[in-house]
Amino acid sequence: MSQSLSGFAQGAPNELNESSTHRLILGFGLFLCHNKLDQLLYELISSNNNGSDCCYWERYVSLTHCFMTSSTGIMKVMCSYLWETKLMNKPSPIYVDDSPPPPAPFEHRIVSVKQTEVTTCYSVCRHEVLGGGRFGQVHKCTEMSTGLNLAAKIIKVKGAKEREEVKNEINIMNQLNHVNLIQLYDAFEGKNNLTLIMEYVDGGELFDRITDENYHLTELDAVLFTRQICEGVRYIHQQYILHLDLKPENILCINHTGNQIKIIDFGLARRYKPREKLKVNFGTPEFLAPEVVNYDFVSFPTDMWSVGVITYMLLSGLSPFLGETDAETMNYIVNCNWDFDAEAFEQLSEEAKDFISKLLVKEKRYLLLLLTLRTLAFSRLSAELRKRDLIIVFLILIWQ
């Protein structure tokens, strides 16, 4: 952080630059000032084991202001000068938190369904609803023996077929152990429902970020979200599983401000066996791939179509295929009838649009991505992030 004496002397007030003596005094004073701050910062950062540039900068500014208001003599003068000329109006550097989300607060486990009421082991907060859908509701709960906060997904079932579908969800989750995928902790079977006890996160749905007018999603945010979605989907596909219901409502944020996510809801997920052609006729209309609408064979690219729709929404706040009715929406999908909204995409990079364009096509989605090899390398990213993202996308494609 320390600079040369001549560097500090540059930009000094005119009255202090009238002689080489004044320049030397100014430069030397700033040199001492910087060195003192550096020393204190080094101690702070070392003690906190946090050496990020963002924290370093914030502490630097904070300590400079502290010295300016509490010191005396040359330290006060130099800190005042440093504050007024170099720090006060300088924007903080952009800090990109691209760290993975934290793992679940428990080891991955193979869960067997218990034939007993969930309330024998867990205190379920019925009044605290975390989410809901066609299946039922998700409530916050606490394990009585440990005090661990978890989420209870209570699924209403009417017959044997519905029970088997829930047990299929449990079996699939037993196979999935990744930080970008919600983890299963326990399961219970009652007379009219099955309850899945899962990892608890409280950042809300990604859908809320997209629709919240007070939250401004940048292209960089979209990159970070999309990359983590791709990492989770890559892992799912490596286990030869298709999610088949990827949408912003099924992606949870770890907290209300960061960009870390976990994919949830494997109720419609299916095991993929290449020799056994799979067809499905379910999902959320505006996120369905053309092969689902046409009741054709589905595969790994089916999930990637949904990733393309989600990315479009993250970048623009708009849904590319949404019509007035479900029938109109599905007609847009089968005809691949979409475009980039001129106003929403005006300031976005060509790389971002190129990524979406290689996913929202009827065929060869993986091949088109592989040929461009610019995927996820949106122009706002550093070279290191771009390199990592290309590797991730290549891994997604490699087994196709």
Contact at 8 Å (CB) between 139 and 128? yes
CA distance 396 to 370: 10
Specify whether 245 is catalytic: yes
According to the annotation, is 153 in a ligand binding site?
A: yes
CA angle 270, 272, 276 (to 5 degrees): 115
Q: Which residue of the set 97, 202, 212, 245 is catalytic?
A: 245
Contact at 8 Å (CB) between 246 and 228? no
The count of other CB atoms within 10 Å of the CB of residue 2 is 13
Contact at 8 Å (CB) between 287 and 306? yes
- Which among 193, 176, 291, 290 has a CA at the least distance from the CA of 243? 176
3-state secondary structure the chain: CCCCHHHHHCCCCHHHCCCHHHHHHHHHHHHHHHHHHHHHHHHHHHHHCCCCHHHHHHHHHHHHHHHHHHCCHHHHHHHHHHHHHHHCCCCCCCCCCCCCCCCCCCCCCCCCCECCCHHHCEEEEEEEEEEEECCEEEEEEEECCCCCEEEEEEEECCCHHHHHHHHHHHHHHHHCCCCCECCEEEEEECCCEEEEEEECCCCCEHHHHHHCCCCCCCHHHHHHHHHHHHHHHHHHHHCCEECCCCCHHHEEECCCCCCCEEECCCCCCEECECCECCCCCCCCHHHCCHHHHCCCCCCHHHHHHHHHHHHHHHHHCCCCCCCCCHHHHHHHHHCCCCCCCCCCCCCCCHHHHHHHHCCCCCCCHHHHHHHHCCCCCCCCCCHHHHHHHHHHHHHHHCCC
Point out which residues pair with 138 in neighbouring strands.
Answer: 131, 153
Would you list which residues are annotated within the binding site?
A: 153
Residue ranges of the binding site for ATP: 153
Catalytic residues: 245
